A and B are shown apart, each in its own frame.
Chain A
Amino acid sequence: MSAGRSIDKTLAALADPHRRRAVELLGQRPRRAGELADALGLPAPAMSRHLRTLKQSGLVEESHPEFDARVRIYTLKEGAMADLKKWLADTERLWADQLSSFKTHVEKKRK
């Protein structure tokens, strides 16, 4: 997947405040779906839908603890935000460079 598509998917997944909150909570540690539903005050089916969207966007992954296959644990995927963070970092670098070049150009003119 190209970085652009990946950023789009990330942003689309995070367009919903419940999903953003879920990502924040998973950023602290892995959690069960029930835990997330309680923390967000959502009914289980709604939470499942949000988690499905987050899984499809590649932000979150699902696993089962060895002792119980019925329990699903959700984890924030390593590097899930990498493309978006890279875009932000690159864009910041770009404008920092362009503005410093602009400054040099303007001030040379005025001498």
Chain B
Amino acid sequence: MSAVVVSLRVKATPQEAFDVFTQEIAAWWRPSGLFQLTPRGDGELRFEPGETGRLVTTLPNGKDFEIGRVTIWAPGERLAFTWRQATFTPDQVTHVDVRFEALEQQTRVTVEHRGWDAIPEDHAARHGFPLAATQMRLAEHWRALLAALNETLGA
């Protein structure tokens, strides 16, 4: 399975961190040189809150692009949403899962971004996403495989 996990601590409560993450994403999101959400740039992001919410960006031409739909909305604890860049094919949906955990006086924020080989099936069925040809559930195996290949290919 292709998955990326990134985590750091912030000086805030889990609730504050969740609120700022979801309500002020336009203020903290930085357009990345690595890949743009759309060919017209990243635009201005916003979360429409709640279990039926969405992550949307408004582009310079005034058009909205839906990056994804909220699948889990648990204020102060967890947020999950699907993630599509404009360049993805229709069956390429990836999944982002964000956790907020209290840690002493701080909060650990963990983002897990799973590739399109790993969309939860129940979610796919609920939202009618066509699934990519791949359904793999072997994250550990994958990590080991990629690590081995990295060594082999001298990357």
Contacts and interface: CB of A to CB of B under 8 A. Distances in A.
B32 interface: yes
Nearest to A93: B34
A97 B8 contact: no
A35 interface: no
Contacts of B125: none
Interface in A1-27: 2, 4-5, 7-8, 11-12, 14-15, 17, 20, 23-24, 27
B39 to A, nearest CB: 13
Interface residues of B, number: 46
A38 interface: no
B153 A98 contact: no
B61 interface: no
Contact of A4 (B9, B89, B148): B89
Interface of A: 2, 4-5, 7-8, 11-12, 14-15, 17, 20, 23-24, 27-28, 76, 78-82, 84-85, 87-88, 90-107, 109-110
